[in-house]
Structure 1
Amino acid sequence: MVSGTDDKNTPAVVSLAAGGVAGGIEAFTSYPLEFAKTRVQLRSQKGIPTPKNPFLVVTQVYQKEGIRALYKGCAALVVGSIAKDGVRFLFFDQIKLAFADPETGTLSPLRNLAAGMTAGVVASVTAVTPTERIKTALIDDARNEKRFRSGLHATTVIWKEHGIFGLYRGFAGTTLKQASATAFRMGTYNILKDFEKTRNIEQNTLTNFANGSVAGVVTTLATQPFDVIKTRSQSAQGASTLEAIKTVLLDYGVRGFWRGTTMRLGRTVFSGGILFTSYEAAVKVINPLYSGVVHKVGAEAA
């Protein structure tokens, strides 16, 4: 990714650290909308229909269960986002360096998407699937059995009952979502930045936020079906990918695969801006610190 400093060679450790910081900030600030979106995508309880308006969902939960309920599962998502975004920024930046044009430092749109897709697959395997499983199970459990006391307790129970495969419920749907979402989100963002570079458009907080928001819109519309399937697969009871697809079709038909789009759009427009703005800012802070440490160590070694 082209950083806000236009440094084509952002060190791997800086990409990893800045991505982790950005992921944690983005996950925490936008979590209530993520909570509402997940509630809508889960199967409705008999006689208790779930509103489609995200703000109504948030308001109802707040009135009935308090502010803490809106952050049920948040810790799992924040931890997962730190790892996920650290990994995917790291891999995206390194892939971009490998395939970028040596003169301009840019990638073709197709290679931008391919770099994002690769980063998304790696992130899903290493961090996203298990943390998303815990987050979704906690949100689902909170409206039913309420047997999970915390993210750690939920992890322990699921592990005991289903083993490691229980933590990877919905792996196919999550990986499809992550591969496509990261391809569209990071690919779109980088395409916009490369375009702006050729037009000498200044890169600042406003342009970073705008680019991230546009990337969020594109990502949501293109990948919503994978997100719905993932949520159904990772409910408290869990389900296979095929079972998740079947229940969505039975409940809502084909349109059901875009259930929660409005809520996710509200989150991704906001979170996309926050994520990339935070990343660019973190790179500007961490890169000089890292360079200073490397220079000091090198000087002492000499």
Structure 2
Amino acid sequence: MAQKKDTLRHLFAGGCAGTVGAIVTCPLEVIKTRLQSSGIAIHSVYYPQVQLGTLSGGGVVRPSASVPPGVLQVLKSILEKEGPRSLFRGLGPNLVGVAPSRAVYFASYSKAKEKFNAIFVPNSNIVHMCSAGSAAFVTNSMMNPIWMVKTRMQLEMRVRGSKQTNALQCARNVYQTEGMRGFYRGLTASYAGISETIICFVVYEGLKKRLHEMDLSANSSGEKGSTNFLGLMLAAAFSKGCASCIAYPHEVIRTRLREEGTKYKTFCQTARLVAREEGYLAFYRGLLAQLFRQIPNTAIVLSTYELLIYVLNEKPN
């Protein structure tokens, strides 16, 4: 009974934390996804000349010149051409998926950590690595169809005032054109991205342990809780920043694999094509937007999770 209650606490805390983070950082995720795309983001909508197809058979424009835009250029273009609502494209499936995905992730991480602590030296780096990797594998396998729909919606560009495709229409289009396999496009890149999760949690757990040791050695006061919370946010932000910079190329490959009518078929083939046609710097397009989004998002998610576990009278493992 106690174990079941413990799992429910982690599910609830993880789900709430993921929802808060998704809402706050959604505009930056849309910008990042546009920048990662081959046809839409990189040849974007600044000076229209050429017609480009969309999900429902309509069209958007793309320029003849292909100068990669920056974060502010994409933001300005979306606001001018599509309106502020487009900054929240894909938020629906994100909210549908983020709570269960974070809940499953944190619950899986907690259970895996418990199991691996019995096999390896408790709370060692190998335990954190195996736990983070196992949780990411389970979550990616379960949630890929939702993230696939979210990415397609974020890549769709429409003129301000025109009707945009909703999540159900997008999902129906994927099924009709690509079948069930279409919902699992980019899954291999997500598995490659497990390395980012492992790096993030190893660094985060190390910093959290250090903060705990510092807290024990310091004289406790009324400020203890707020200091710990701020420290956890900074630790989460730093760990995610390091992990994102190291493992970012898999994000670009995953977005390319999820594009509609794409020439990209497999992980390795996509990597070769991008390197040959656009150069190695293309693997880091959108990194700035990713850091702006992921660092505060991870800080919000992990610190909210830790806070809720604390409020629910459950000391984090």
TM (norm. structure 2) is 0.79
Matched, 1:160 2:176: yes
Deviates more, 1:92-101 or 1:70-79: 92-101
Give the conservation status (yes or no) of the 8 Å contact 1:120–1:180.
no
Q: Structure 1 residues 183, 226: closer, same or farther in 2, change over 3 A?
A: same
- Counterpart CA distance in 1 for 2:98 and 2:13 is 12
Matched, 1:175 2:191: yes
User: Secondary structure at 1:30's aligned position in 2?
Assistant: helix
Matched, 1:249 2:275: yes
2:258 alignment partner in structure 1: 234
Give the conservation status (yes or no) of the 8 Å contact 1:74–1:135.
yes
Q: Structure 1 residues 140, 27: closer, same or farther in 2, change over 3 A?
A: same
- Counterpart CA distance in 2 for 1:251 and 1:148 is 31
Matched, 1:66 2:90: no
2:19 alignment partner in structure 1: 24
1:193 alignment partner in structure 2: 208
Give the conservation status (yes or no) of the 8 Å contact 1:189–1:215.
yes
Q: CA deviation at 1:120?
A: 0.7
1:140 to 148, 155, 160: 155
- Counterpart CA distance in 2 for 1:83 and 1:41 is 26
Task: Give the partner amino acid of 1:42.
Answer: S
Matched, 1:272 2:267: no
Q: Structure 1 residues 286, 198: closer, same or farther in 2, change over 3 A?
A: closer
Q: How many residues are matched?
A: 276
Deviations 1:55-112 (A, max 9, x none): 332232112211111111121122222122111111111122223389xx95112321
Matched, 1:217 2:254: no
- Counterpart CA distance in 1 for 2:94 and 2:163 is 19
Matched, 1:76 2:102: no
Matched, 1:42 2:37: yes
- Counterpart CA distance in 1 for 2:110 and 2:157 is 38
User: Secondary structure at 1:25's aligned position in 2?
Assistant: helix
Q: CA deviation at 1:228?
A: 0.8
1:184 to 175, 184, 199: 199
Q: Structure 1 residues 164, 108: closer, same or farther in 2, change over 3 A?
A: same
- Counterpart CA distance in 2 for 1:186 and 1:163 is 35
Alignment RMSD: 2.6
User: Secondary structure at 2:156's aligned position in 1?
Assistant: helix
Unaligned regions of 5+ residues in structure 2, if any?
44-62, 217-223
Q: Structure 1 residues 281, 256: closer, same or farther in 2, change over 3 A?
A: same
Structure holding more helix per residue: 1
2:102 to 69, 78, 85: 85
Task: Give the partner amino acid of 2:33.
Answer: T
Unaligned regions of 5+ residues in structure 1, if any?
1-7, 289-302
- Counterpart CA distance in 2 for 1:66 and 1:48 is 24
TM (norm. structure 1) is 0.82
Q: CA deviation at 1:33?
A: 1.0
User: Secondary structure at 2:248's aligned position in 1?
Assistant: helix
Q: Structure 1 residues 183, 23: closer, same or farther in 2, change over 3 A?
A: same
Task: Give the partner amino acid of 1:194.
Answer: K
Deviations 1:139-169 (A, max 9, x none): 222259x996111110111112222111101
2:140 to 124, 128, 152: 124
